[in-house]
Structure 1
Amino acid sequence: MLHPDISLPRLIAHRGLSSRAPENTLVAVRAAHNAGCSWVELDVQLLGDGTPVIWHDAGIRRCSDARGRLADLDLPAARRLDVGGWFSDAFRGERIATLDEMLTLIDELGMGLNLELKVNRGRNAEALVKASLPATLEALPPERLIVSSFNDQALSQARRLAPASRLALGVLFEGVGRGWQKRCAGLEAYSIHADWRRLNRRGAEAVKGDGYALLCYTPNDPTAFTHQWQWGVDAAISDVPDRFIDHLS
């Protein structure tokens, strides 16, 4: 199967450099770039008015100065949120990033993007893909993009919009258990993204033996993760990628 010619880095910054800046923000992506990261992982979902924004939770309480559901906000209301002050005073006044703004920044920085289609409970997977994928495909070349999700409806819709030669799809798993091969083959997947705490050698070797790229989320202890590199893991999606530098050899 022909996939984009992606040169995966060993380390991908999770939600931007989320250990040093508020997650999923423009400033977190700039921080990742300044720290030497060439790829970031980010989440996209829709506001109530259908605008794609970079955000992880169904609610806004954890990462802003307000409460409520993201689905209840339109763009003007979302723009009023302070999404940096919860992290530290240094980031007070940071605003939620639209997908378009984030794509512009990533392209300007020449970075790669693992974009997770975040389908929270009660949200429409097909609407998310239709609103976010065309702009993403237009903004970034195939070799600098992986679109991933836990949600098979979102992944199937993404595949209908773009062939495997144009779009690398990543299938998210907690544990790589029974049925993973059928699921990935049906989606013409490029990569498997597994919870590093639930990955074992047998699963990793099966994934690599079938020719998939293997990414792990979210290891933050390079010593504890050392043996997983030996299993053939291609990339670690980490909050603290800088901690891993001295351990990659």
Structure 2
Amino acid sequence: MPTLIAHRGMSSLAPENTLSAFSLCKDSKVRWFECDVDILQDGTVIISHDDCLDRCTDKKGRLYDISHNDLSTIDAGSWFSDDYIGERLPTIQQLISLINEKELNVNIEIKSCAESAKLSHLLIDNLILALEKLDPQRELIVSSFNFLALSEFKNKRPQTKVACLFENNNIWDDWHSIIEWCKAEYIHPEDKGLTREMVNKFKASGVKINVWTVNSLSRANELFNWGVDGVFTDIAHKFPSKYKY
């Protein structure tokens, strides 16, 4: 069955990367969602795509300048809708509790920590520590554009399936070497510029393929007919029931 992955949760219906956006997956019968993890200065792992607060909260500034105690003062929902006033940036522990409760599956993207290598190492270690609480029946993929971070994660937690993320302008001839280096079970290419020939090459290498970000039902149908395993989408609620549980 093709896999439908709600990009940053149900991000067309609720503020992206929030518990509300993830909870709506269950309501829409979407089994998988994607989210992004980064780290605060005190080592708290949180769910956020950006490394600053400006775009998706009522505050500005860098994640690396705040700590866990600041989270209760940051509104991550009022920018999106009055219905989500007071929504908070979730911690990794809150995320895992929700996944276990709702019986969902997750793709966690490790963001490339811009602050320092030291904090990047701490992000990986604290993520691994938190994942010990994940229900073993839940399915998990960890992905990243940062192949150094992804390789370190895989070496430290080899039982977790990982995915190499690629933009269309950086899939060079060494993509297969990168997949091997990271011991990745998946490749996650960008939809833009993706061709049937490229999909055939990926499939021939033995990796599974999840494509981001596909917001056209006809394009998703085409990709599935080419043999891709899954798509990330901002409009999971609009997909027909054959893609859902």
Q: List alignment gaps of at least 5 residues for structure 2.
A: none
Give the distance between the partners of 1:92 and 1:180, measured in 2 at CA. Answer: 43
- Aligned to 2:35, which of 22, 42, 53? 42
Match of 2:182 in 1: 187
| 1:152 corresponding residue in structure 2 | 147
Point out the more displaced range, 220-229 or 45-54.
220-229
The yes-or-no answer on 1:207 pairing with 2:202 is yes
After TM superposition, list the pairs within 5 Å mapping 1:157-168 onto structure 2: 157-163=152-158, 166-168=159-161
1:42 Cα deviation from its structure 2 partner: 0.5
TM-score by length of 1: 0.91
**Aligned position for 2:172:** 177
Distance 1:50 1:133 in 2: 13
Query: Per-residue CA shift, 1:41-85, capped at 9, x if unaligned?
Result: 010010111100011101101100011111111111122100000
Q: Is the 8 A contact 1:115 1:147 kept in 2?
A: yes
The Cα shift of 1:231 comes to 1.6
The Cα of 1:160 is off from its aligned counterpart by 1.6
Is the 1:83–1:94 contact (alpha carbons within 8 Å) kept by the matching residues of 2?
Answer: yes
Pick from 99, 102, 108 the counterpart of residue 101 of structure 2.
Answer: 108
Aligned residues: 239
> What is the CA–CA distance in structure 2 between the aligned matches of 1:193 and 1:142, rounded to whole Å?
23
The amino acid of 1:65's aligned partner reads: D
Partner of 1:5: none
**CA distance in structure 2 between the aligned counterparts of 1:131 and 1:223, rounded to whole angstroms:** 40
Give the alignment's Cα RMSD to 1 decimal: 1.7
Aligned partner (choices 11, 21, 28) of residue 18 of structure 1:
11
Q: Which amino acid aligns with 2:34?
A: E
TM-score of the two chains, using structure 2 as the length reference: 0.92
Unaligned runs of 5+ in 1: 1-7
The alpha carbon displacement at 1:142 in A equals: 7.1
* Separation in 2, partners of 1:126, 1:96: 22
Alignment of 1:132-143 (within 5 A): 132-141=127-136
Whole-Å Cα distance in 1 between the matches of residues 134 and 23 of structure 2?
18
